Amino acid sequence: MWKSTSGKRRVVSRLTCTTVYTFLMVLFWSFSSSVSMNQVQAAEQPAAADTADVADVDTAGRVAERLLQQSGVRGGLVVHVGCGDGRLTAALRADESYLVHGLEKDRTARDQARNHIHAQGLYGVVAIGDWNGTHLPYAENLVNLMIVDHPDPVSMDEVLRVLAPGGVALVRQDQTWSKTVKPWPEEIDEWTHYLHSPSNNAVADDRVVGPPTRLQWVAPPQWSRSHEHLATLSAAVSAKGRLFYILDQGATADVTMPPRWMLVARDAFSGVKLWERPMATWEWRLRGFRSGPPELARRLVAVGDRLFVTLGYGQKVAALDAATGETVHEYDQTENTQEILVSDGVLYLVIGDGASEPAAQARRAQRTDRQWNWWPIYDEPRPATRLMAVDAESGRTRWEHRGIESRQVMPTTLAVAEGSVFFQNPDHLLCLDAETGREIWRSARPISRRRPAWTAPTLVVHDGVVLSADREVPEDEADEPPAEVEWIVTSQGGISPPGRLIAFCAQTGERLWTAPCREGYNTPVDVLVVGGLVWTGNLVGAKDPGIIHGRDLRTGEIVRQRPRDQEFYQPIMSHARCHRHKATERYLITGRTGVEFADVETGEAFAHHWVRGECQYGVIPCNGLLYAPPHPCACFVLAKLNSFLALASDPPRVELPATDDDRLEPGPAYDGVQPVPAAAGDWPTYRHDPGRSGATSARVSPDVQIAWETQLAKPLSAPVAAGDLVYVASIDTHTLHALDLESGRQVWQFTAGARIDSPPTYWNGRLLLGSADGWVYCLRAADGRLAWRYRAAPGERLVTVHGQLESAWPVHGSVLVLPESDSSQATVYATAGRSGYLDGGIVLVRLDAVSGQERSRTIVDTRDQQTDHQPHPLPRPTPGFSMPGALNDILSAQQDAVFMRHLRFALDGALQPETVPHLHSPAGFLDDTWWHRTYWIIGSKMHGGWGAWPNMGDQVPSGRLLVQDGDVVYGFGRDRYHRDGSHVGLGGAQYRLFARNLVDLTRRKDADEVFRWERAVEPTVRAMALAGESLWIAGPGDMLDAEDPTAVWEGHAGGSLWAVSASDGQKQAAYPLDAPPVFDGLIAVPGRVLYSTTDGRIVCWSQ
3-state secondary structure 578-619: CCCCEEECCEEEECCCCEEEEECCCCCEEEECCCCCECCCEC
Q: What does the pLDDT average to over 166-191?
A: 95
Q: What are phi and psi of 710, to 5 degrees?
A: -130, 130
E-strand stretches of 497-586: 498-505, 511-518, 527-530, 533-538, 546-552, 558-561, 582-584
Instruction: Give pLDDT, residue 367.
Output: 44
Return the DSSP state at 183.
Answer: P
**Residue 372 pLDDT > 70:** no
Res 46: pLDDT: 54
In this prediction, residues 713-726 reach a mean pLDDT of: 98
pLDDT of residue 102: 98
Strand-pair category, 558-561 with 300-303: unpaired
Mean pLDDT in residue range 754-783: 99
Predicted confidence (pLDDT) at residue 1075 exceeds the cutoff of 60 = yes
Q: Which of 1011, 1029, 1012, 1031 is nearest to 1021 (CA)?
A: 1031
Q: Is the peptide bond before 873 cis (omega within 30 degrees of 0)?
A: yes
Segments in 836-892 forming alpha helices (H): none
Residue 945 has pLDDT above 60, yes or no: yes
- The answer to whether 802 and 697 are in contact (CB under 8 A) is no
Residue 947: the pLDDT is 78
- Assess whether pLDDT exceeds 50 at residue 22: no
The structure's pTM equals 0.94
CATH of domain 203-649: 2.130.10.10
CA separation for the pair 953, 634 (Å, rounded)? 13
What does the pLDDT read at residue 44?
Answer: 53
pLDDT of residue 831: 99
| pLDDT for residue 49 | 53
- DSSP letter, residue 952: G
Tell me the CA distances in angstroms from 898 to 661, 763, 924, 1049, 1082, one per residue in order.
Answer: 27, 18, 15, 34, 24
Strands 126-130 and 98-104: parallel
Give Dmax over CA atoms of the chain in angstroms: 92
659 pLDDT higher than 60: yes
Spell 995-1009 as b/e; 16+ CB within 10 A means b: bbeeeebeeeeeeee
Mean pLDDT throughout 209-216? Answer: 97
Pairwise CA distance, residues 726 & 749, whole Å: 12
Q: What is the per-residue pLDDT for 375? A: 55
pLDDT, residue 117, reads: 98
The CATH number given to 22-181 is: 3.40.50.150
CA distances from residue 396 to 3, 438, 946, 976 in whole angstroms, order as listed: 16, 18, 51, 58
Q: Give buried/exposed letters for 510-544 (b at 16+ CB in 10 A, else e).
A: eebbebebbbbbbbbbbbbbbeebbbbbbbbebeb
Query: Where exactly are the structural domains of the chain?
Result: 22-181, 203-649, 660-1102
pLDDT of 442 higher than 80: yes
Residue count (the chain): 1103
The model's pLDDT over 1019-1037, given as tens digits with 9 standing for 90+, comes to 999 999 999 999 999 999 9
Q: Is 676 helix (H, G, I), strand (E, B) or coil?
A: coil
Beta bridge partners of 148: 81, 171
Q: What amino acid occupies position 966?
A: G
pLDDT over threshold 50, residue 364: no
Within its chain, how far is the Cα of 484 from the centroid? 41
Give the E-state strand segments of 936-1066 in sequence order.
Answer: 936-939, 958-959, 961-965, 968-974, 991-997, 1011-1015, 1023-1027, 1030-1035, 1055-1061
Closest to 418 in 3D by CA, of 825, 32, 90, 6: 6
> Is 95 exposed, middle or buried, given 0-12, 13-18 or 19+ CB atoms closer than 10 A?
exposed
- pLDDT per position as a tens digit, 217-256: 999 999 999 988 999 999 999 999 999 999 999 999 988 8
For residue 588, list its beta bridge partners. 583, 598
- Is the pLDDT confidence value at 808 over 50? yes
pLDDT band of 47, cuts 50, 70, 90: low
Helix (H, G, I), strand (E, B) or coil at 993: strand
Q: pLDDT for 97-128, tens place per residue?
A: 999 999 999 999 999 999 999 999 999 999 99
Separation between Cα atoms, residue 1020 and residue 1034, nearest integer Å: 8
| Cα R_g (the chain), whole angstroms | 30
> What 3-state class would DSSP assign to 437?
coil
- Beta bridge partners of residue 788, listed in sequence order: 666, 778
SS3 content of the chain, % helix, strand, coil (to 5): 10, 40, 50
Is residue 234 classed exposed, middle or buried when 0-12, 13-18 and 19+ CB atoms within 10 A define those classes?
buried
Q: Which of 809, 868, 811, 812 is nearest to 837 (CA)?
A: 868
Q: What is the pLDDT of residue 2?
A: 36
Q: How far apart are CA 461 and CA 422, in angstroms?
A: 8
Spatial CB neighbours of 98, under 8 Å, sequence gap ≥ 6: 75, 76, 77, 78, 92, 125, 272
pLDDT at 376 (0 to 100): 66
- How much is the mean pLDDT over the chain? 91
pLDDT band (50, 70, 90) for residue 353 = confident
| pLDDT on residue 409 | 97
Cα dihedral 148, 150, 153, 159, rounded to 10, equals -20
Query: Residue 449 and residue 457: Cα distance in Å, rounded?
Result: 12
Question: How far is residue 363 from each of residues 366, 404, 429, 1003, measured CA to CA in Å?
Answer: 5, 28, 31, 38
Q: Which CATH number fits domain 660-1102: 3.30.70.260, 2.140.10.10, 3.10.290.10, 2.60.40.1240?
A: 2.140.10.10
Helix (H) and strand (E) counts for the chain? Answer: 9, 79
Beta carbons of 715 and 1096 less than 8 angstroms apart: yes
Q: Which amino acid is at 814?
A: S
CB 752 within 8 A of CB 786: no
C-alpha 424/C-alpha 406 separation (Å) is: 8
In whole angstroms, what is the distance from residue 942 CA to residue 1084 CA? 30
In this prediction, residue 357 carries a pLDDT of 46
Contact 288, 522 (CB under 8 A): no
